[in-house]
Amino acid sequence: MSWNDSEAPGSGPLDGIRVADFSRVLAGPFATMILADFGADVIKIEHPLGDDTRAWVPPVDENGMGSYFASVNRNKRSVVCDLRTDRGLAEARALALRADVVIENFRPGVMERYGLDYGTLKAERPELVYCSITGFGRTGGAALPGYDLLVQAVGGLMSVTGSPDSEPSKVGVALVDVLTGQNAVIGILAALRSRDETGRGQRVDVNLLSSLLAGLVNQASSTLATGVAPKRLGNAHPSIAPYETFRTLDDPIAVAVGTDKQFSALVQVLGVSELATDTRFGSNASRLAHRAVLKAMLEEQLETRPAVEWTARLSAARVPAGKVNSIAEALDLAALLGLAPIVPVTDAAGSRVSRQIANPIGLSDTPARYLRPPPLLGEHTGATFFNKEGALSALDA
């Protein structure tokens, strides 16, 4: 295996871009997987014990690999470099200096200790784009551990998640890591575009706390505008009603009414059209003021029929509504809608197939490609990696 353009993960908009990936767990690997999907050649540089998430089992996928690790590491190659040894450090440094992009999410100071920090590498490769992902930035929060749950707590997300009478709750997925990974991709692409114009690379800094604060959008804006902290509203919306989940005869249903026209259509379908002219519900502001009584009235009707029937009837009337699905049901829905949510990724020998959630970004001319399943630990150690001038190094297992 060679690190050259002909053997990059696939022809795509990032074909020829080489990424030395020192990141692990979620935010960094999610970012580099997106880059790899679009053609970047990503070398995942791992500790001899591997990315932490390799050991986060069960569950495992069809190949016995931890499903957490498998979810964010397709289209990459894995080499083992023990940075505590002279040989491992030399190999990691050689890969970093031939890369277009280095990405890392170590605690601040770790990469400096190994001479793999931006300042050191930039001195030899000024065109390098270097992305650092931290929990709380590289200055005042440098010593704080960057765990998604912790950031959801201190970043305010948990304060607005959960029902009014429950304790604060985290989101059911490491959403802050995902947002931060996406921001890392945006920053890297912006830096590469700037390099096209100037020939110079730059440092890209993203952190979990800033990513979350930006992702709070209207809730953060409300806090700035009013000085009042938003409260937990369960599945209700702070500015729109009815916009939440409701009980039906069987499963809960989500109804997302955003206009007076949609509200009129909703109550017409439910057989209580008189509510559209009730002064308590004639405008969004009045519906918000009487949210609890409105919900009780709507649920009284909704509880007479099953969720799937209401979904069909409301959707036909152009009222946004849908049953609260499981993840498996959500995948089935996406397939039914022709979105192809699951893609099989097969290795070159055809001996290993990994089912993956598809990249959500559609490009008409250079779509995402899926050419390598998530790598085994050190699967590509011992490969010879090349630059344009010739052999770089043989990374022996």
Residues identified as active-site? 177
| CB atoms closer than 10 angstroms to residue 323 | 19
Asked if residues 148 and 26 have their Cβ atoms less than 8 Å apart, the reply is yes
Cis before 145? omega within 30: no
> CA-to-CA distance for 291 and 297, rounded, in angstroms?
10
Nearest 5°: CA angle at 23, between 394 and 17?
60
Encoded tokens for 174: 């490491």
At residue 335, what is the residue type? A
| CB atoms closer than 10 angstroms to residue 391 | 10
Encoded tokens for 38: 């679009």
> CA-to-CA distance for 16 and 36, rounded, in angstroms?
11
Tell me the C-alpha to C-alpha distance, in Å, between residue 366 and each of 14, 38, 187, 362: 9, 8, 20, 9
Asked if residues 126 and 200 have their Cβ atoms less than 8 Å apart, the reply is yes
Query: Three-state SS for 295?
Result: helix
- Angle between helix 260-270 and helix 291-302 axes, rounded to 10 deg: 40
Beta bridge partners of 286: none
> CA-to-CA distance for 210 and 179, rounded, in angstroms?
10
> CA-to-CA distance for 397 and 394, rounded, in angstroms?
9
